[in-house]
Structure 1
């Protein structure tokens, strides 16, 4: 799987975990130069607290376009540290 935005590959892996239709990419699969921390968090009743990343590619910023459960609840332990995408990021085989 690949996550692509603004013409760049943000992450690529043959080992994503699919939860609720979202592909969660292992941390080592990210091209970290495109990511910066965001102060945004959200809470899921069964997964826990998600933290967000802003994505910047070729001078364009996609705010809060990726998220991670760094310390999820036990029901979601299989996505610990994995990153998922939305807001126009194309996730494809």
Structure 2
């Protein structure tokens, strides 16, 4: 699976290494090209996953606000709900397309 913005692959990993949560594919941290992400100050806490870290995605000279996110330290109960540890896995939104 790949997370692609335009012609740029931002993350890539075999599907069996990804985790699908609430319809979103989460990529393992090592599969994400961090040079395309910039931490965002946008605050959010999911009631069952915990505190979220948003990232803006670099698209050339443009910065697409809050188009990626992860949960650095999810609530322990979330691991039971998801079935595995998804700490620091990254999901993408809007212009970033996840494809096979």
* TM value normalised by structure 1: 0.93
Residue correspondence of structure 1 range 1-93 to structure 2 within 5 A: 1-14=1-14, 15-77=17-79, 78-93=85-100
Distance 1:24 1:52 in 2: 13
Q: Which of these two proteins has the greater Rg computed from alpha carbons?
A: 2
Distance 1:59 1:87 in 2: 18
Q: Which of the pair is proportionally richer in strand?
A: 1
After superposing on structure 2, the runs of 4+ consecutive aligned residues of structure 1 that deviate more than 6 Å are none
What is the alpha-carbon root mean square deviation over aligned residues? 1.1
Figure out how many residues of one structure are paired with residues of the other and give that number.
93
Q: Where do 5+ consecutive residues of structure 1 fail to align? A: none
1:44 CA displacement: 1.1
Q: Where do 5+ consecutive residues of structure 2 fail to align? A: 80-84
CA contact (8 A) 1:13 1:29 kept: yes
